[in-house]
Amino acid sequence: MNKLAKNLNDTLRGTSVASMFSDYGKRMYIPKGIVVQGQEAKAKSKRYNATIGVAMEDGQPMFFPSMKKWYNEDLRPNEVFSYAPMGGVPALREAWQKEIFEKNPELEGKKVSFPVVCSGLTNGLSLVCSLFLDKGDSVVLPDMYWENYDLIIDEQRRAKKVFFPIFEGNGFNVAGLDAAIASVKADKAAVILNFPNNPTGYTPTAEEAQAIADVLKKHADAGKKLIVISDDAYFGLFYEKDIYTQSIFAKVADISKNILAVKCDAATKENMAWGFRVAFITYAFKGATDEQLQVLVDKTMGAIRGTISSCSMSGQTVILKSISDPNYHAEKQVGIKKLADRYHALQKALAKYKDVKTLIPLPFNSGYFMSLKTECSAEELRQLLLNKYETGVIRMSDHIIRLAFSGVAVDHIEGLVDVVYQAASELV
């Protein structure tokens, strides 16, 4: 094992987190090579800097004029064409951390790591799973989940998913979560909680969120080491008053020494910047020191360095400028309001079919999506909608389809629902 990795591991000695790493995670570190030496040189080499492989001219990166003309003149070449610092642009990381605390009041007084910038939510989840999952490790999650989890958990890490039904009646299945964790015989397990959920569009109520935290604490206090990953891809898109509008991360950040809380979030949906591929990973655990949290950051940055090297500089720059703009929060509320209007239009359209049993809406209250349970084959319904009605939906399983109301104009929502129910009636 590299001495730098050993030193990082030694810093965590005595904590439960030290035993949560995968073999890869234990061996990960930041090399003191080109990037680190280059950052040192950037700060001190006032005369000549012959470190980083960037073509420079007059103190700025060279660039093709045909590229620069597509950028706003307010963006300097070094804000667009340079490599981003390892871990992300510091000012963006600071701004995002401030946002995390503002959006999650329950984090007040709690210690969390400096967010690390990664290349989208998929990259973030992949990095976290690489650092903490070995072959055969268990990952507890609802039975309705984003399909990329299969590629990350099953194929990349060769871990095993332990499911529980996401709903009990019209609410989140807390008892199912409890039973699923209890079924894991090993002393370590990961738990992934994605709210608002993809594909159902469900976020727990405040009461359910507390019950989830209580279950996690119960198992952790009994000795189970839990890596609790909050997949907050759709965070902030809440449309009902009784929803818990904070991240589960805020509830579990310091509730047990045996819980490592991980928050994966992104500008992708929160800031409507889908193509920029800028996301963040933040850590917390009970009793953590700044030095120990930095170990988690360093190992994450080492994993980034060894895979994609660094993340988009231009994407980070534009997002930072947006967050820093005085109109930022007002603009964000405009976007949320538009999605909320589509959500309410969808609820109204579905109400017309409340007595129809061929398609039954699953609970939803937030996010981009809603799902329907079909009496017929979901794939046959998808094909009929596509080929006869020129309407696209996603088949999630044999009897579940997903509608992304986020992509449908508010005045087309009713027509979408009518077409889906019409097609379903033709297959029963």
> What pLDDT does residue 323 have?
95
Phi, psi of 99 (to 5 degrees): -65, -40
> What pLDDT does residue 426 have?
95
**Cβ atoms of 339 and 176 closer than 8 Å:** no
CA dihedral 64, 70, 75, 79 (to 10 degrees): -50
Distances (CA, A) of 305 to 97, 134, 184, 354: 22, 20, 33, 52
Place of tokens 């976020």: 203
User: How far does Cα 301 stand from its chain's mean position?
Assistant: 17
Type and span of the H or E element at 10: helix 3-11
Per-residue confidence of the chain (428 residues) as pLDDT tens digits? Answer: 999 999 999 999 999 999 999 999 999 999 876 566 666 666 676 666 676 677 777 778 777 777 777 676 678 878 888 888 889 999 999 999 999 999 999 999 999 999 999 999 999 999 999 999 999 999 999 999 999 999 999 999 999 999 999 999 999 999 999 999 999 999 999 999 999 999 999 999 999 999 999 999 999 999 999 999 999 999 999 999 999 999 999 999 999 999 999 999 999 999 988 999 999 999 999 999 999 999 999 999 999 999 998 899 999 999 999 999 999 999 999 999 999 999 999 999 999 999 999 999 999 999 999 999 999 999 999 999 999 999 999 999 999 999 999 999 999 999 999 999 999 999 98
Q: How far apart are CA 395 and CA 380, in angstroms?
A: 9
Q: How far apart are CA 166 and CA 77, in angstroms?
A: 48
Distances (CA, A) of 340 to 236, 283, 413: 11, 31, 12
Domains and CATH numbers, the chain: 3-30+86-324 (3.40.640.10), 329-425 (3.90.1150.10)
- Of 35, 123, 131, 139, the closest CA to residue 311 belongs to 123
| DSSP result, 260-291 | EEEEEEEHHHHTT-GGG--EEEEEEETT--HH
The DSSP code for 162 is E
Q: How far apart are CA 122 and CA 307, in angstroms?
A: 13
pTM of the model: 0.94
The b-or-e profile of 23-35 (16+ CB within 10 A means b, else e) is ebbbbbbbeeeeb
Q: How far apart are CA 134 and CA 157, in angstroms?
A: 6
- Of 427, 347, 338, 419, the closest CA to residue 381 belongs to 427
